Amino acid sequence: MAIATINPATGETLKTFEPMDDRELDRRLALAAAEFERYRSTGFARRAEWMLSAARLMDEETEQLARLMTTEMGKPLAQARAETAKCVQGMRFYAEHAEEFLAPEPADAAAVNARRAEVRYRPLGPVLAVMPWNFPCWQVIRFAAPALMAGNVGLLKHASNVPQTALYLGELFARAGFPAGCFQTLLIESGRVEDVLRDARVVAATLTGSEAAGASVASVAGGEVKKTVLELGGSDPYVVMPSADVAAAAGTGVTARVQNNGQSCIAAKRFIVHDQVYDEFTERFVEGMRALRLGDPMDEATDVGPLATQRGRDDVERLVADAAGRGAHVLCGGVTPSRTGWYFEPTVLTGIRPGMRMFEEEVFGPVAQLYRVNDAAEAIALANATRFGLGAGVWTTDPAEQEYFAGELDAGLVFVNGMVRSYPELPFGGVKRSGYGRELSVQGIREFCDVKSVWIG
């Protein structure tokens, strides 16, 4: 795939970039390794000063950055602004809490026959981040902020269709005062990631993306005995029980399905509704999906913009066609509008069964699946009948049901009476084929640290 900005609303190629050659890539890796030896000794106060400066810069440049993201990957402009604000929040969070999160922790010295014993957290070195296009700033910042505050240095291999956003991020930290080499963007093709990961100067990697990409990176890193954190796909269930506020569940469900034009790993995808409220929920939900305005993502009135790539739109088309051709019912949408750009109408289907691709695969677009169940046990069984385990939403006001679902759902995140989202204060990640490791919160900053036991006699 070419490294290029292609406007998904028009299909127009706006700018192309030449990948850096091997000599420049080697120079960047050498710079990262050398800088780590200096940067690891800086104090938390100095790192926080630079991180807060980066947050201020991004905050001041919100409109410029939001328009850049919308141009490159098509999310509605209001959502791009919100993503920028979230990045600013994340940088400030780690600037304020990193020293606390990584403070030495006393251990029971008497139990280990020591005069003093403690656990310390020390940085590992240059970390490679392979990042996706769907949240082109937030996905990077939620790695970069904790990694830099921990004393690591970062190397960003971003998705090839958001090169200008990638370059902005590479320059942001340098403009904020971080020494050259602390965070660098590598404009390289995906096929060269393996060589970078095998390089001895790179000590670990984090990837957000597809199962295939995650498996590839994990395989290479395993052979090199290097730490990885993987955040992969999701086919998140959204369960609605009889005690729920059905109107709120349906309204939030629409947003949860079409956020980011439906291109989110933690978007609600499979709506599992109890028989007692199924008809009411379906009516409200379909009405909400039909009412969405599909259009130019730069238009403030637009609810759903284009999918980010032509390939992504084509994949959604094929999944819907496969389900419809095997007997699923399309309640709304289901077609590609006759307009320029990579658009797909908000769609709701019922009658999804095993054997249909959609039952097994993640649908990365504004397409919802509706299922009817008779009780909580059936809802749990269906929710867990997937190889994914990222997020899950549940709507119930029954305290016993809330505890039951929170305990039994196979997911890294369970949100009750609300939409699944990420917060700097909470760990983020999945189980099963959705990956391993955690980002955000205290767990996220410790992922790329040497957890060192110190025993003093």
> How far, in whole angstroms, is CA 38 from its chain's centroid?
31
Q: Are 313 and 365 in contact (CB under 8 A)?
A: yes
Q: Taking every pair of C-alpha atoms in the chain, what is the biggest distance, in angstroms?
A: 75
Burial category of 439 from C-beta neighbours within 10 Å (exposed 0-12, middle 13-18, buried 19 and up): buried
Question: Half-sphere exposure of 376 toward its Cβ, with a 13 Å CA cutoff?
Answer: 18
Give CA–CA dist 242/377, Å, rounded.
Answer: 14
Q: Are 437 and 429 in contact (CB under 8 A)?
A: yes
Catalytic entry in 231, 345, 439, 447:
231
SS3 43: coil
Strands 4-7 and 153-157: unpaired
Give me the phi and psi of 218, to 5 degrees please: -65, -40
* Helix, strand, coil percentages in the chain from 3-state DSSP, rounded to 5: 45, 20, 35
Give CA–CA dist 195/217, Å, rounded.
Answer: 11
The alpha carbon dihedral of 188, 191, 193, 197 has a sign of: negative
Q: Is 332 a catalytic residue?
A: no
Q: Are 230 and 63 in contact (CB under 8 A)?
A: no
Give CA–CA dist 296/300, Å, rounded.
Answer: 9
Tokens standing for residue 251: 């309204």
Catalytic entry in 265, 345, 362, 439:
265
DSSP secondary structure letter of residue 193: H
Strands 236-240 and 413-416: unpaired
Residue with tokens 């609303």: 9
Q: Is 231 a catalytic residue?
A: yes
Residue 127 Cα distances to 50, 54, 73, 141, 440, angstroms: 19, 20, 25, 14, 16
DSSP 244-277: S-HHHHHHHHHHHHHGGGG--TTSEEEEEEEHHH
Instruction: List, in order, residues 6 or more apart from 83 with CB less than 8 Å away.
Output: 66, 69, 75, 135, 137, 138
> Which residues are catalytically annotated?
231, 265
